[in-house]
Amino acid sequence: MKQQRPTSLDIAALAGVSQTTVSRALAQSPLVSEDAKRRVLEAAKALRYKVDVNARKLRSKKIHTLAVLISEDLDNSENPINPFFLPLIGSILKYAGQQGYDVLISLQQKSDEWGTDYGFSRRADGIIFLGCKDFQVYTHLFEYLNEVGDPWVVWGVNRLDCARLVIGSDNEAGGYLATRHLLDLGRRRIAFIGKYQAEHPEFRDRYRGYCRALTEAGIAVDDALRVDAFLAREEGVAGVDRLLDNNIPFDAVFCATDLLAMGAMQELHKRGLHVPNDVSVVGFDDLWVCSSLSPALTTIRQDTEAAARALIDGLSSLIEDEPVVDTQMAPKLVIRESCGGLPNLMAAQ
């Protein structure tokens, strides 16, 4: 008789755990204790268990539903979602409906499994991941999705080694546009407020664009003008305070997000400095509130409608086993009042 392939039930019996624990342990879920993971992996090895991708594909049936999983990025529990994602989610829902898809949306914390159960339970045909923290934290989960054959696409980062498809804006080009615009206005002491480390690739690339524009203009990059900050408006406030309290002269600020720029403008006003006469400010994202600020905020726009189309079309191609390529969308400089005038050479593209 032909020997049957071992199943997750066999592993559960041998390891002395539930079948759910087996699935989570094989996905390296942080919800499973190290002892349970060890027992599951030892049982799987003893049984010579391997995921049967072909069998899974045979029993898989399309249900015309996509999952959108959003990382909880902000520390403020009252604002758990990066506000840039709100119009992007709206655009995803609209375009998905036009393409005949229903959409499941879930807010994911770091401790969550980030989609490892969506494919096996057939809750969705594919997954869109939205998040701007360190995606390397989730690499083992992404690799697991690849192992079982689940289609998925990630927004934002330029590249993940394990990613099947990445869609995002050209963040370096955006940082370059913002900084070049300030240089065209005659600003020379341009501060950068935001993340610039490798584990934050979107912001790091915005910082690289800032550095490239300065270098092309013959201006040395001054680390004293670089302020480490993440997303929150309060960090923009703190960033301006650090510059002023340390008596570091600056005549412009490029912020890696609009939230940071809002905080920066708020604190500049509080400290008696006029925007844009004393200090020009540029943000990044073009949140809806930017045009309602006083002064209205100059910023770098990410096209959420184009992003939604690229994410869903790309994921649809993966679901149908069609070839896909990573996409970087060109950002656009949106000039408003916070800079103090138009440059001699328009940098809108």
pLDDT at 346 over 60: no
Which among 261, 270, 268 is positioned nearest to 296, based on CA atoms? 261
* Confidence at 349, pLDDT banded by 50, 70, 90: very low
Residue 139 confidence (pLDDT): 66
Residue 2 confidence (pLDDT): 47
Residue 20 phi/psi, 5-degree rounding, is -60, -40
Residue 48 confidence (pLDDT): 81
Write down the mean pLDDT value for the chain: 84
What is the Cα–Cα distance from 325 to 335, expressed in whole angstroms? Answer: 32
Estimate the crossing angle of helix 85-98 against helix 304-319, to 10 degrees: 50
Q: What is the pLDDT of residues 235-249, one digit of tens each?
A: 999 999 999 999 999
Residue 116 confidence (pLDDT): 54
Residue with the bigger pLDDT between 268 and 124: it is 268
Q: What is the pLDDT of residues 38-89, one digit of tens each?
A: 898 898 888 888 665 554 544 456 788 999 988 776 455 556 678 889 999 9
* Confidence at 28, pLDDT banded by 50, 70, 90: low
How many whole angstroms from its chain centre is CA 49? Answer: 35
Residue 187 confidence (pLDDT): 97
* Confidence at 121, pLDDT banded by 50, 70, 90: low
Q: What is the pLDDT of residues 276-298, one digit of tens each?
A: 999 999 999 999 999 999 999 99
Residue 69 confidence (pLDDT): 87
Q: 127 to each of 81, 154, 314, how far by Cα in Å?
A: 18, 8, 11
Q: What is the pLDDT of residues 161-200, one digit of tens each?
A: 666 788 999 999 999 999 999 999 999 999 999 999 877 8
Residue with the bigger pLDDT between 97 and 19: it is 97
pLDDT at 134 over 60: no
**Of 45-49, 89-93, 216-220, 309-313, which range is least confident?**
45-49
What is the Cα–Cα distance from 204 to 171, expressed in whole angstroms? Answer: 8
